Amino acid sequence: MNLRALMYFDELVRTRSMRAAAENLGVAATAVSRQIENLEEHFGAQLVERTNRGIRLTAAGRLLADRAGKTLRELDQVHQLIGDLQGLQSGKVVLYANGATVANVIAPVLAEFSLQHPKLRFEVAITSAREAIDALTSGEADIAVTLFAPAMSGVKLRLRSEIRYDAIIHPREVPSGVTEIALADLAKMPLALPDRSFAARQAIDEIFGREGLHLDPVFITSSLDMLKELVLRGAAVTLLPPLSVQREVEAGMLVAVPVVEDAAVRTAIDLCVAPDRQLSFAANALVAFIENHMRRSVPEA
């Protein structure tokens, strides 16, 4: 058995197709098939069954898939640690973030860090909070940045900060002289809000309900881009972290108006790593960079 066979098997498990695995690996399908046969000969057991819809793992195949993926990730980490001997001259960091809001908050930080260290490479996955935490505990991710994360056993919380949601308004719609806005006034405006599957929307509903205010949004959407576009066109007002619209605010296309302090919507954002795994030099530097940015940008919760 060799490392290449495990790599081919891992890609086959991911794609569930000989042809797709071969395309991703840049080899012929027969090469993948040959390596799978070598593994089956080595273990003395059938690992995959070929069907009209692709391949299906046998019980032995599922057992190997679990171990092979973990082994390859551990070897990749060793490769990263060896690369650490060169400092920040090489390496890859895998970051999982949950939701478009976090993605928009973290993107400027990643961009700044990358410009300072152009030889590093980054893989960013946008998932649910649960998937981000699972990726961290399984070793698929180096770092997770989450909003409304579930209970986090087996995860080390590096920093928890608060994100404040401002009223995001088109410049011509901002009332003259207004420097902050009351929830009661906001409730009268044409609102565009995320749907109720979003924890941020649930937090918004809760704080408006606490004030005895009924929300009747004109637009409900699952897209952050749609929320911004509706405001950019002057059709609605929304609630978003100001960092997520920083570029539009700096360009004068949008205005972020704080909600009156005692009624502001706030959510916690968590920066997490795995407690039992040594981070590569590059990943550790990025964690410190994100942590420093969060401390500067938003107060600790």
Task: Say if residue 52 is in the same domain as residue 124.
Answer: no
State whether the Cα torsion 214-173-166-191 is positive or negative: positive
Task: Say if residue 154 is in the same domain as residue 278.
Answer: yes
Nearest to 11 by CA among 1, 26, 25: 25
User: Taking the CB of residue 227, how many other CB atoms lie within 10 A of it?
Assistant: 27
Domain boundary among 31, 51, 82: 82
- Reading the block at residue 13, the tokens are 């498990």
* Angle in degrees, 0-180, between the axes of helices 281-297 and 99-116, rounded to the nearest 10: 120
Please state the domain count of the chain: 3
Task: Say if residue 189 is in the same domain as residue 200.
Answer: yes
> What is the band of 152 on the pLDDT scale with cuts at 50, 70, 90?
low
CATH number, position 60: 1.10.10.10
What are the helix (H) ranges across 193-260?
Answer: 199-210, 224-232, 246-250
For residues 115-135, give the mean pLDDT.
88
Task: Say if residue 177 is in the same domain as residue 232.
Answer: yes
Angle at 278 between CA 140 and CA 73, to 5 degrees: 30
pLDDT digits (tens, 9 = 90+) for 81-94: 566 545 556 678 89
Residue 241's domain comprises 162-267
- Reading the block at residue 138, the tokens are 């399984």
Whether 100 has a pLDDT exceeding 70, the answer reads no
Residue 82 pLDDT = 60
For residues 31-52, give the mean pLDDT.
84
For residues 133-153, give the mean pLDDT.
80
pLDDT digits (tens, 9 = 90+) for 172-230: 988 888 889 999 999 999 999 988 877 788 889 998 998 899 999 999 998 888 999 99
Task: Say if residue 101 is in the same domain as residue 241.
Answer: no
Task: Locate the DSSP E strands across the chain.
Answer: 48-51, 54-57, 92-98, 121-127, 143-147, 156-169, 192-194, 219-221, 238-240, 255-257, 265-273
- What's phi and psi for 205, nearest 5 deg? -60, -40
Helix and strand numbers (H, E) in the chain are 11, 11
Whether 298 has a pLDDT exceeding 60, the answer reads no
Nearest to 169 by CA among 189, 143, 141, 140: 189
